[in-house]
């Protein structure tokens, strides 16, 4: 999430969650853009968003930007996996 767009992106995701009511959310890479994305402001927004959706499984299939940005805090309860991520036979 590039700086400045976090709130807009989270709002768009909120709308999709409301409409489709998924049990699992999968981010296909590049959730965060750079190490600066791990700022207190961004992490606070992500923690608040995650708290509202604590019952949902969230998986991040790491992209190149995610690996560059660094690991997400464990407190976000986001499962990070590397591709290829197999979810069935």
End-to-end CA distance of the chain: 32
Would residue 89 count as lying in a domain?
no
Task: Look at residue 50 in the predicted model and tell me its pLDDT.
Answer: 92
Given a cut of 50, is residue 2 above it in pLDDT? Answer: no
In a domain, 88, yes or no: no
- Tell me, yes or no, whether 1 lies in a domain: no
In this prediction, residue 22 carries a pLDDT of 97
Residue 48 lies in a domain: yes
Supply the pLDDT for residue 37: 67
Whole-structure pTM value: 0.81
- Does residue 23 lie within any of the structural domains? yes
Q: Mean pLDDT across the chain, nearest whole number?
A: 83
- Domain total for the chain? 1
Measured CA to CA, the distance from residue 69 to residue 73 in angstroms comes to 12
Q: State the residue range of the domain holding 63.
A: 6-81
């Amino acid at each position: 999430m590039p700086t400045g767009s976090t709130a807009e992106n989270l709002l768009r995701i909120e709308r999709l969650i409301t409409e489709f009511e998924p049990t699992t959310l999968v981010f296909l890479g590049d959730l965060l853009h750079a190490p600066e994305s791990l700022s207190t402001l961004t992490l606070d927004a992500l923690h608040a968003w995650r708290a509202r959706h604590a019952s949902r499984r969230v998986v991040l299939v790491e992209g190149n930007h995610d690996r560059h940005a660094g690991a997400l805090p464990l407190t976000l309860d986001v499962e990070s996996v590397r591709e290829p991520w197999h979810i069935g036979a």
